[in-house]
């Protein structure tokens, strides 16, 4: 009983330390911790990789904070969201790999700088309006870069082809020269909501030929040659693209976020501040979720300890019973010894009775000799 009470006291004290410690940590580090991007695992599995060679380091968990140049990968079923301090979010689809080159937020001037290197797969960006000149959000592949200041868009890189899908406002898309690794500014195009642009190695080669000759004409949503050849252009999102699951998922998540913001705005809160509070609230919820499993784990440990000690008690009880059984055997032996002694006494009594009967029948001389033998026998019995 004393052991059981101690175990539960241990559980209570540990839980209190966890909760209070978490509260103090949050209170003292809220300003600092809130500037770091963090990951929310929507579906497993999502991994942290070595940035240089892509070797898997460990599996990521919801609430893990991300540092610059961290390399992340989702598997065939993995889905994840990267939340930033101003409320912006990058949503990773399955079979996606990227390097978060930058994700810093400056509290003093309220600027956010995000640079994502999409190595493979699909990422949907929901960017809250970047209000300062220092702010930036760009997603690049090996052959294209998409830059925005406040919008929502999706980018895919598969089989060497970069695709950018507009959802809100404008996105500037620029091809990248595979040889120099620099953006070809002369070929930049703007795409708006429900517009789409696709960049391939063949297109880049053709663009480079015309740019070298100075024969390109840059328009808002297209780049054409001097002869009027369309080199790159924003077009309506084709059905084959619009129907992709990851695009529908990204748009739905954006709508859900906007609906939440609208509800909060009814309280009189500022929209920008609301967007900032959303990731903070989510992160606190995630931390609470981390504490709960810790408490559950402690409860399980206590339960295991109680079972272990219960088993020990059972073993000791069985051992005690075995010991009792051994004692019982000794008692039985003693009883058997007593029974033997009793039997011996009975036999002696019988012999005495037979002797006495013989005395009655014997001659006087024989009687005297017999009585002497009886007296000697009784004296011997008393001594033993």
Residue 178 lies inside a defined structural domain of this protein: yes
For residues 215 and 7, give the distance between their C-alpha atoms in angstroms, rounded to a whole number.
81
* pTM for this model (two decimals): 0.65
290 and 345 belong to one structural domain: no
Residue 102 lies inside a defined structural domain of this protein: yes
Q: Which residues of 242-275 are buried (b: 16+ CB within 10 A; e: fewer)?
A: eebebbebbbebbeebeeebeebeeeeeeeeebb
SS3 293: helix
For residues 301 and 308, give the distance between their C-alpha atoms in angstroms, rounded to a whole number.
10
The confidence score (pLDDT) of residue 311 equals 74
Dihedral sign from CA coordinates of 91, 191, 118, 151: negative
Angle between helices 364-383 and 271-361 (to 10 degrees): 160
Residue 168 lies inside a defined structural domain of this protein: yes
The confidence score (pLDDT) of residue 257 equals 84
Residue 323 lies inside a defined structural domain of this protein: no
107 and 154 belong to one structural domain: yes
12 and 148 belong to one structural domain: yes
82 and 188 belong to one structural domain: yes
The confidence score (pLDDT) of residue 82 equals 96
| Contact status, residue 141 vs residue 177, Cβ threshold 8 Å | no
23 and 145 belong to one structural domain: yes
* Residues with pLDDT less than 50, the chain: 23-25, 27-32, 338, 363-364, 382-384
The count of domains in the chain is 2
For residues 13 and 342, give the distance between their C-alpha atoms in angstroms, rounded to a whole number.
67
Q: What is the DSSP letter of 132?
A: S
Instruction: Provide the domain limits for residue 150.
Output: 2-295
Residue-wise pLDDT tens digits, 33-92: 568 999 999 998 999 999 999 999 999 999 999 999 999 999 999 999 999 988 899 999
234 and 359 belong to one structural domain: no
134 and 7 belong to one structural domain: yes
Q: What is the CATH number of the domain that holds 126?
A: 2.60.120.1440
| Contact status, residue 165 vs residue 140, Cβ threshold 8 Å | no
CA-closest candidate to residue 125, choices 233, 295, 257: 257
224 and 178 belong to one structural domain: yes
Residue-wise pLDDT tens digits, 242-281: 999 999 999 999 998 888 777 776 776 665 566 666 665 6
171 and 285 belong to one structural domain: yes
79 and 164 belong to one structural domain: yes
CA count, 13 A, side-chain hemisphere, 86: 26
The confidence score (pLDDT) of residue 337 equals 55
Cα 117 to its chain centre, rounded Å, is 25
């Amino acid at each position: 009983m004393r052991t059981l009470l101690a175990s539960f006291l241990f559980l209570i004290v540990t839980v209190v330390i966890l909760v209070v410690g978490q509260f103090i940590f949050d209170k003292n580090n809220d300003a600092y911790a809130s500037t770091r991007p963090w990951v929310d695992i929507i579906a497993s599995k999502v991994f942290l990789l070595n940035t240089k060679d892509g070797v898997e380091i460990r599996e990521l968990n919801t609430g893990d904070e991300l540092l610059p140049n961290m390399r992340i990968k989702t598997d065939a079923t993995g889905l994840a969201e990267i939340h930033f301090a101003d409320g912006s979010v990058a949503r990773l689809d399955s079979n996606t790999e990227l390097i978060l080159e930058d994700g810093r937020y400056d509290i003093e001037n309220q600027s956010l700088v995000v640079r994502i290197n999409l190595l493979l797969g699909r990422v949907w960006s929901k960017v809250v309006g970047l209000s300062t000149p220092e702010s930036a959000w760009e997603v690049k592949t090996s052959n294209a870069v998409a830059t925005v200041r406040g919008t929502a868009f999706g980018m895919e890189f598969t089989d060497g082809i970069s695709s950018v899908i507009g959802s809100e406002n404008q996105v500037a898309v620029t091809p990248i020269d595979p040889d120099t690794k620099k953006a070809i500014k002369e070929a930049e195009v703007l795409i708006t909501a429900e517009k789409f642009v696709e960049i391939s190695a063949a297109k880049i080669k053709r663009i480079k030929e015309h740019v070298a000759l100075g024969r390109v004409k840059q328009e808002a949503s297209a780049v054409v040659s001097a002869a009027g050849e369309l080199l790159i252009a924003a077009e309506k999102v084709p059905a084959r693209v619009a129907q992709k699951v990851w695009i529908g998922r990204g748009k739905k998540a954006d709508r859900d976020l906007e609906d939440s913001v609208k509800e909060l705005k009814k309280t009189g809160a500022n929209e920008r501040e609301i967007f900032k509070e959303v990731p903070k609230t989510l992160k606190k919820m995630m931390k609470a979720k981390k504490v709960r499993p810790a408490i559950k784990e402690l409860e399980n440990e206590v339960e295991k300890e109680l079972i272990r000690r219960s088993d020990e008690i059972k073993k000791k009880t069985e051992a005690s019973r075995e010991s009792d059984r051994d004692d019982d055997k000794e008692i039985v032996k003693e009883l058997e010894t007593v029974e033997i002694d009793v039997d011996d006494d009975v036999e002696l009594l019988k012999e005495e009775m037979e002797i006495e009967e013989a005395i009655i029948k014997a001659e006087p001389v024989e009687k005297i000799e017999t009585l002497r033998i009886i007296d000697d026998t009784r004296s011997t019995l008393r001594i033993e």
